[in-house]
Structure 1
Amino acid sequence: MAGQGSLTLCSVCSRIDFASYFRHEIHKHINDSDVLGATEDAVCLGPLSEIYQKSQGCAFCDLVINALNSRWSHLESPNSLSNLATKCWIFSYCCGDNSSSASNHQDKANYIRIATTIGIDPPAPAADIQLLGDDALKLGLSPLFHGRRVASPIFDMTLARKWLDICETHHGPFCETPGRQVKDRVPAPLPTHLLAIDLKEMRICHLPQAARYVALSYTWPSSQHLVLTKASLQDMFQQDALQTRIGELPGTIQDAIHCAKDLCFRYLWIDALCIIQDDDAHKAHHLPQMDHVYGAAVLTIIAAYPVPHSSLDLCKGLPGYRTSRTEEPEERLIREVKGLHLTHPSSNLEEVLKVTRWDKRSWTFQEGLLSRRSLYFTHAQTYFQCSCNVFCEDTNCEDVQRAAFVAPGTTLWNQKCPYALDKYSNSDWGTWWLSRAPFQSFLESLPAYENILGNYTSRNMSDPTDILNAFQGITSVLRLSMQTEFWYGLPERYFDLALTWTLLGPHQRRTAPIRKGQAETSKQRFPSWSWAGWVSQAELDYYFPMAGYRPEIEWFMVNEKSVALRLNTAFWNAKPDLHKHGNKDVAPPEWDYGAFHEIIPRMFARTDSDEWTYPQFLACWTTYAVFEIDGETQSLNGHERLWAQGLNLIIWDKNKVRAGSIMLDKALAFELCKSPRKFEFILIARSKRNNQTLYKSYFDETVYSDRDWCQLNVMLIERIGDVAERVAVGIIHEDAWVGANPEAIFLKLV
């Protein structure tokens, strides 16, 4: 942290009792959505332009400008600051509560927040001011949650050993097998036939059964480096083989070897050295057990740092381990204000990771999510994360209890904690994790899957064929917690809902090179009805949020032998009474199952078998209807702005009445709608509108009355011979669907 300085205080700041703000919550306003703001009687520091001018001589004004600059990039220029007429107010709020009773204030900590609005609307720049732990003692407060000085740019590994010991000693099963339902938690299975680095003998070995080991998660360097191959396997098993070739390893792997030794472990797992890179059979055994590899590791060392756009990743080492970081914690400004040493809190782990290359890669996504404990070496500082706590260098944190309240977004906030509840709403706002215990309801299962889907599909992938390989570890866990099988990344139990994913980016099909003889061609390996078949970020239950859905048709997976398997799908919430709401019957009529060569009971098929891993097509007996799209758009009250590259197009009925909506990529929309034309839609399911959609108009409500269960989830298709491909999904009102005289159809989707 930067020097303290000897600035005085301006006339406004000199009248503020800063100590009282750290002892109590003052002038804090909170709305029903748990958004913090300042009350109308909060102390006003004045316009930003004046605060900036006074920052040259006022210690607290200097902190305010420094804190705002650290959080808001558009305030970085002094010239822009001096031109801002925006005013600032201060209030304080609880950033952490470690106390066991409401009357004990000693283990509660408050931050001072600098707000640029009164109340909570609209969202505006804000930043926090933190008290150093040594000064908290002066006020009779615990140093917990308060700042501490970082003496060296090199991380002190004794802290890492202490953090790991705290977790293993005090958290026990809560971190060994994360999940709210303690009695139902299932430990991560141990990996089988795993190779590892023997750090004592510096060679590759077979990992002894039940041995404690550390894993490494990192992004591979852009240049060639030493990896395990069939040719080098025998030599790498010899004692000191790694030591003699240590210079051929990238700095990150070299640091990981030394770091694991510092942590007193004998075994280390690194993919480049523990998977035979040119052995397809060896890879095929290990890729499906990534859940086991990272889930069973005692700790995962993670190398996370920014890599400038279009720059090579040299993989030089773990930031702050043996060399200084690019962004030193000690650069944070400390000012003495009325005898108290203040600074601005450091960013939480999630904010730090957002700018790193590690956080943008598909493989590392599952590695971080599957790990039960992680030691992050970042460009800012070193963090430790488990299912109970986040620890870091510049904040007093070691005595924070598992059940302690940590304010969302603050330094010690743990987004992966399944046990934390919001102090005000008793909710788990902003948190998500990979549970190893069965979810108790749809309302737990679906948000978990939705969050994972959106995050995973936003990542970059070098090899397009790895889209499902890099997701296998996650589905291995979700298969147990969601109690369902998966087909091309879609959960079978919620298949009707899972089909309604929407792309946030361009509608570009995923292709992969297929070698035939000497020629190499591009072929679509993944079906159009799965998000895996598209190179774009996908979201679920966001374009049209649902409060429930009702299956209307049956789905079948059909293998290469034309053997069909009926999927086990379920209702979300209780089966609705459609007559009560005046709904129409839209289900297809009974049909002859003779379209299939054979239908086998669901229990007789294993999705991990060669026969069913990649079925030939998805089949259904449904209804289809024709509607018009001409390129005209409809606003969803601003909701459509989330699809910057998309257009919310109107679906017209035969009377030119707005019957529904569909979101399409702009380029695709322009291509399809060069002139008004008819499109084929098939029925997927019926859904109930979520409260969030009540102010969004998906159809003309003056003609089509809005009522429970009136919206139908439909799929826009393009027929190719006797099969069809998915183009996009949308919403059509049930009355419009019935009015279009839908016809029954047996459809093969590829």
Structure 2
Amino acid sequence: MDCLNAILRRGWFQKPQTAIEDGHKQYTEHEVEPPQVPKPSVWLPEGDTEQDENLCSLCRRLDFRTILTHGVATDECIPLGFFVDLLQRSSSCGFCRLATTAIVRGWKSFVPDWEACEGVERVQCELRCVRVWAPAPSSPARFLQVRVDRLPPKIAESKVRSGRVDRNVIFLLADDAHLVGLEPRYHNRPVPKNYAEVSGMKEWLSVCKEFHAAECAKEIDENMSKAPSSLRVIDIQENRLVPVKSSPSEKPLPFVALSYVWGDVSTVAQYRTEISNFRRRTEKGGLDGVSFPRTIQDAIVLVGLLGERYLWIDAVCIIQDDGDDQAAQIHSMNIIYGASYLTVVGAGGDSANVGLTRAHPGSPSKDVVSTMETIQGIRMMLPLPPLPEALRTTRWITRGWTYQERLLPARRLYFTPEQVYFECRRCSWSEDVVAEERTFERNKDQASASGGNQLRRRSFRTRWGDTSSLFLEDYGRRVAEYTKRNVSFDSDVLNAFMGVANVWVESWGVQNRLFYGLPGAHIESALLWQPKAELVRRNSGENGVHLPSWSWAGWRGQITYSDRNYWMSIGPWPCGLIEESVVPEWILHTSNTESQRLEVKAARKWKRAPGEKPLSRPPPVPPSLLSPIGDAARPANIHGGVLEFLTTSAFFKVRTGSEHGKKCYCYDGGKPPHEHADMIHLIVDARGNAAGNIFLDRKTLEITDICNTACEFIILSRSGGGETTCPGLNEELYPHLEFCLFDTMLIEWRDGLAYRLGLGKIHEDAWVQAEPKWKRIFLS
């Protein structure tokens, strides 16, 4: 009501000039013709409207039982009026109150100050009835959806950028489904207010064990068979650490894993396992008296209630000050989480002291607010947020370590501020929806959409035999997701990704092993990442871990490989893979004394069609540079993470967007431009002509003088979609031809080593005309 009063003060309810009254909706003379009234079957006769006084005159005429029983055709949407009309009626109408709350909930997730958006009062609303997908149920479930049209630009743009949708749905209560001839399945149920029912969690596990054995249980068993000998768990009955298996021939102990947020790292010292207390903790009662935080206490109680005995917790089961033990188990994270019978996720707070909300009668409780109204004798309610939405606002989803902890387990039980959710490889369930189906394959699509069930060990094949494009698509998507997250220590950025990398090697083959976060076999493509947000250089060398500038791991901030800027994507066709290799060989230095030649899948030499202009290429490599160089010729300060290669170098200036008067970006299918379009700038030749584009964050522009001084660029490969050139390119001098762009990197030199500043594309003719010189690069 506060929201309604605020809007009333703005004077939204004044009728627009020359308005046409329709009976259900107002239209100005500049708007389209009102939609046709739905079939009479969904409307009650005028004489039957007095039965429900908590409805407005419009909703009182709707036959909600008929709507839910028979549905409404997509071309028969029921007009509800402008949003301002709906909001005004919500003070006295139960259904309008549900509809308004559903709409506002979605808008607030996109734009918190949605009330201030120009034009929000003129958003058009209509009612639809949607069938819940289920494989041939005897009585299909249905829910109501309030569709909105003509969103204010600010909300519409924020919605597109987020990639999310606002569902605006209203569910029928499962206990009332029989009133409209439907079954309870896939309808809503109230969530217990104080704590979740353990019986419901056991039911989810039981269904998965019995009906998903060929997928979920099989995956767990396969990982369990490869459990490292160093793996140990907490025996909650004897309160001590025990090995998962005492001998190779012994059957491993089934265990539950915990994924949670540490919070203040200094507090972990109160309960972590160290060399000094490890032996005592292996004795019976060895964990007595340990001051565990609330989340771990709740997890121990929950494991017992679920009928399990063994629990794995990173800070307790890994010897934290033993480098060898840490390394062995960090390199086995894919096995540990993959072998867990169940992974309990504490996503309800910002530290380990918060606890697992509503996990058991003694855990922290939280009133679950369910918005419910009785409409024509039928109870309807707004569903609680689906899992992705519930996780979106948690700190747990922002942590780097928890990324693999969500992807790797076959079964996950989430404790969020909203409710408890369960996911496995086949299904996704929650407390507020009756969906535990034993006979039908239900919710697999929903589980996939949540982002938590796709990563598993499997073999990939294509009819053409080459899986490069599929791998790079998967790799680019995962890296973009992971780099949104944070780690407390920069030196952990690769360790927290280790489990994902190991699964890739198992799935795609050892040739796709990652080096400093990039696949060695596809180093040419993998170098072409771009910032999706402002980047900050990580502390390279911390704890002896070097994080090179050429890898996304060397920077804090989200990166992307595939973007709406078509010309800079490296995903599968039509975004464009590397079309031609220009670097003869790639050498990676893994330490100051050791190096290895990367086995790179070099791209073929590109040829244009007969009659077209031939490709412009740099001069041939001088024979003297092709000879191997000795250690004396390499920089004295070389270290692990230095990438050595031959390429051509040339000098160009950069012109920023403010100088050339317009931003450089592409529109794609009517979508808004890249959210950081002001980070894309022009590469200009010696005569000041635009010859390419480069993506640079603001901090790099601030600390360098690239706009006034010619800076050094190197080329890495030839690529780019064949249908477009760089935005802003001077095509009179540099005409568009198929694959006429070089991938170029702006570098700076410090103490004999080169460092990446930014990446872009430049026209082949501009490159050749700049008289490039071959040079051996040591990229750190």
Aligned to 1:86: 123
Q: Distance in 2 between matches of 1:696 and 1:111?
A: 47
Pair 1:564–1:512, CA change in 2 (3 A) = closer
In the TM superposition, residue 512 of structure 1 has moved relative to its aligned partner by 5.4
In the TM superposition, residue 597 of structure 1 has moved relative to its aligned partner by 4.4
Q: Distance in 2 between matches of 1:134 and 1:538?
A: 47
Q: Distance in 1 between matches of 2:310 and 2:756?
A: 47
Asked if 2 retains the 8 angstrom alpha-carbon contact of 1:388 and 1:417, the reply is: no
Asked if 2 retains the 8 angstrom alpha-carbon contact of 1:406 and 1:413, the reply is: yes
In the TM superposition, residue 661 of structure 1 has moved relative to its aligned partner by 0.7
Aligned to 1:18: 64
Pair 1:386–1:677, CA change in 2 (3 A) = same
* Deviates further, 298-307 or 719-728: 719-728
Aligned-partner SS, 1:494: helix
Q: Distance in 1 between matches of 2:616 and 2:116?
A: 65
Asked if 2 retains the 8 angstrom alpha-carbon contact of 1:358 and 1:364, the reply is: yes
Q: 1:466 aligns with which of 458, 476, 492?
A: 492
Pair 1:737–1:218, CA change in 2 (3 A) = same
Pair 1:177–1:655, CA change in 2 (3 A) = farther
Within a 5 Å distance, the mapping from 1:108-147 to structure 2 comes to: 108-117=140-149, 127-147=168-188
Using the size of structure 2 for normalisation, the TM-score is 0.79
| Paired AA for residue 274 in structure 2 | T
Aligned-partner SS, 1:97: coil
Pair 1:690–1:481, CA change in 2 (3 A) = farther
In the TM superposition, residue 250 of structure 1 has moved relative to its aligned partner by 0.6
Q: Distance in 2 between matches of 1:279 and 1:686?
A: 46
Between the two proteins, the alignment pairs up a number of residues equal to: 677
Aligned to 1:272: 315
Aligned to 1:232: 277
Pair 1:583–1:632, CA change in 2 (3 A) = farther
Aligned to 2:47: none
In the TM superposition, residue 42 of structure 1 has moved relative to its aligned partner by 2.6
| Residue 655 in structure 1 maps to residue 687 in structure 2 | yes
Aligned to 2:19: none
Pair 1:621–1:171, CA change in 2 (3 A) = same
| Residue 253 in structure 1 maps to residue 253 in structure 2 | no
Pair 1:749–1:349, CA change in 2 (3 A) = same
Aligned to 1:219: 261
Aligned-partner SS, 1:93: strand
1:55-98: CA deviation from partner (whole Å, max 9, x where unpaired): 22212101112222333325789999998232311223344223
Aligned to 1:394: 432
Bigger relative contact order, structure 1 or 2, given CA contacts below 8 A and separation 6+?
1
In the TM superposition, residue 268 of structure 1 has moved relative to its aligned partner by 0.9
Within a 5 Å distance, the mapping from 1:302-317 to structure 2 comes to: 302-307=345-350, 313=351, 315-317=353-355
Aligned to 2:515: 487
In the TM superposition, residue 701 of structure 1 has moved relative to its aligned partner by 3.4
Aligned to 1:734: 764
Q: As a proportion of its length, which structure holds more strand?
A: 1
Q: 1:620 aligns with which of 634, 638, 645?
A: 645
In the TM superposition, residue 175 of structure 1 has moved relative to its aligned partner by 2.5
Aligned-partner SS, 2:238: coil
Pair 1:7–1:157, CA change in 2 (3 A) = farther
Using the size of structure 1 for normalisation, the TM-score is 0.82
Aligned-partner SS, 1:228: coil
In the TM superposition, residue 659 of structure 1 has moved relative to its aligned partner by 1.0
Q: Distance in 1 between matches of 2:113 and 2:174?
A: 28
* Structure ID, larger Rg: 2
In the TM superposition, residue 27 of structure 1 has moved relative to its aligned partner by 5.0
Pair 1:72–1:277, CA change in 2 (3 A) = same
In the TM superposition, residue 14 of structure 1 has moved relative to its aligned partner by 2.3
In the TM superposition, residue 173 of structure 1 has moved relative to its aligned partner by 3.2
Q: Please, which runs of 5 or more residues in structure 2 have no aligned partner?
A: 1-50, 160-165, 246-250, 570-574, 632-638
Aligned-partner SS, 1:235: helix
Asked if 2 retains the 8 angstrom alpha-carbon contact of 1:228 and 1:276, the reply is: yes
Q: Distance in 2 between matches of 1:557 and 1:588?
A: 25
Pair 1:237–1:433, CA change in 2 (3 A) = closer
| Paired AA for residue 461 in structure 1 | V
Pair 1:106–1:119, CA change in 2 (3 A) = farther
Asked if 1 retains the 8 angstrom alpha-carbon contact of 2:129 and 2:143, the reply is: yes
Within a 5 Å distance, the mapping from 1:338-737 to structure 2 comes to: 338-399=376-437, 403-404=441-442, 414-416=449-451, 433-438=455-460, 440=462, 441-483=467-509, 484-511=512-539, 525-542=546-563, 544-545=568-569, 546-550=575-579, 551-553=581-583, 554-560=585-591, 564-570=595-601, 576-579=606-609, 582-586=613-617, 589-590=620-621, 591=623, 592-597=625-630, 615=640, 617-632=642-657, 634-637=663-666, 642-644=674-676, 647-673=679-705, 675-689=707-721, 694=724, 697=727, 699-737=729-767
1:361-398: CA deviation from partner (whole Å, max 9, x where unpaired): 11111111111111111111101111111111110110
| Paired AA for residue 378 in structure 2 | L
Aligned-partner SS, 1:315: coil
1:489-530: CA deviation from partner (whole Å, max 9, x where unpaired): 001122111101112333422115758xxxxxxx98211111
| Residue 8 in structure 1 maps to residue 54 in structure 2 | yes
Asked if 1 retains the 8 angstrom alpha-carbon contact of 2:692 and 2:726, the reply is: no
| Paired AA for residue 437 in structure 1 | S
* Deviates further, 524-533 or 587-596: 587-596
Asked if 1 retains the 8 angstrom alpha-carbon contact of 2:349 and 2:355, the reply is: no
Aligned to 1:262: 305
Q: Distance in 2 between matches of 1:21 and 1:704?
A: 61
* Deviates further, 681-690 or 187-196: 187-196
Within a 5 Å distance, the mapping from 1:175-190 to structure 2 comes to: 175-176=216-217, 189-190=226-227
Aligned-partner SS, 1:317: coil
| Paired AA for residue 587 in structure 2 | F
Aligned-partner SS, 1:548: coil
Aligned-partner SS, 1:89: strand
In the TM superposition, residue 695 of structure 1 has moved relative to its aligned partner by 9.3
